[in-house]
């Protein structure tokens, strides 16, 4: 079993490409393994409570968590999850916080997905990608930390990591319409207009799973 998670929409956006990709892969098979796609709420407290239970229930071979990074122009493979939450915007419950996620845990965990192998393979397939050293300090990082911490405590046999995705093209199209309607900001001042086709995102995540399973001997 491979677990793929994607967050629901947040920040006033109508859609989150992470949820779209998780749903698209749900029920598929990659490298002989079944994929379970799950949508997570943008709710810090609910995530911290429900994700460990989900991992204990499913006992996946690998976990690939997905999130949106507005303005990212490519597939972004996260290397490190910090034991720190500092929200610039509220989650969908209105929560704003700054705290250590788990005072009894290490300051950070490294992803156990083969990020270098995945990045190189994606580029060979014509899919732009890069490795990032930080998943931020919002729910994406908190989820990545929660998953790796739980799997580490369970013995560390599950490969875990996080992938940030760009906007969908239609989201950028809407941003452009909004900018034109506002008439207050020149396009070259915006840094969040990059996008990627959903088919390419799905292909990228499928390859990430396949490369991970290949490294595990599956």
Catalytic residues, by residue number, are 78, 140, 164
Note the helical H segments in the chain.
Answer: 17-25, 44-58, 115-124, 139-153, 169-182, 198-215
φ/ψ (deg, to 5) at 80: -130, 135
In whole angstroms, give the CA distance from residue 46 to residue 40. Answer: 9
- 206, two tokens: 């499928």
In whole angstroms, give the CA distance from residue 169 to residue 174. Answer: 9
What's the gap between Cα 68 and its chain centre? 7
- 165, two tokens: 């995705």
Burial state string for 135-170 with b = 16 or more CB within 10 A and e = fewer than 16: bbbbbbbbbbbbbbbbbbeeeeebbbbbbbbbbbee
Map residue 29 onto helix, strand or coil: strand
């Amino acid at each position: 079993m491979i677990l793929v998670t994607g967050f629901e929409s947040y920040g006033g956006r109508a859609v989150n490409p992470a949820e779209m990709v998780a749903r698209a892969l749900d029920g598929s098979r990659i490298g002989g393994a079944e994929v379970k796609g799950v949508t997570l709420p943008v709710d810090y407290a609910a995530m911290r409570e429900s994700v460990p239970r989900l991992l204990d229930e499913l006992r996946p071979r690998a976990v690939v968590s997905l999130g949106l990074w507005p303005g990212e122009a490519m597939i972004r493979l996260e290397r490190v999850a910090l034991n720190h939450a500092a929200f610039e915007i509220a989650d969908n419950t209105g929560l704003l916080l700054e705290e250590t996620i788990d005072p009894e845990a290490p300051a950070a965990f490294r992803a156990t997905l083969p990020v270098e192998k995945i990045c190189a393979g994606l580029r060979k397939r014509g899919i732009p990608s890069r490795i990032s050293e930080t998943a931020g300090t919002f729910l994406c990082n908190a989820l990545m930390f929660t998953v790796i911490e739980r799997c580490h405590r369970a013995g560390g046999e599950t490969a875990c990591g996080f992938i940030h995705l760009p906007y969908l093209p239609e989201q950028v199209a809407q941003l452009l319409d909004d900018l034109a309607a506002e008439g207050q900001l020149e396009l070259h001042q915006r840094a969040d207009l990059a996008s990627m086709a959903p088919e390419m995102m799905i292909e990228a995540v499928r390859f990430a799973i396949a490369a991970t399973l290949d490294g595990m001997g599956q």
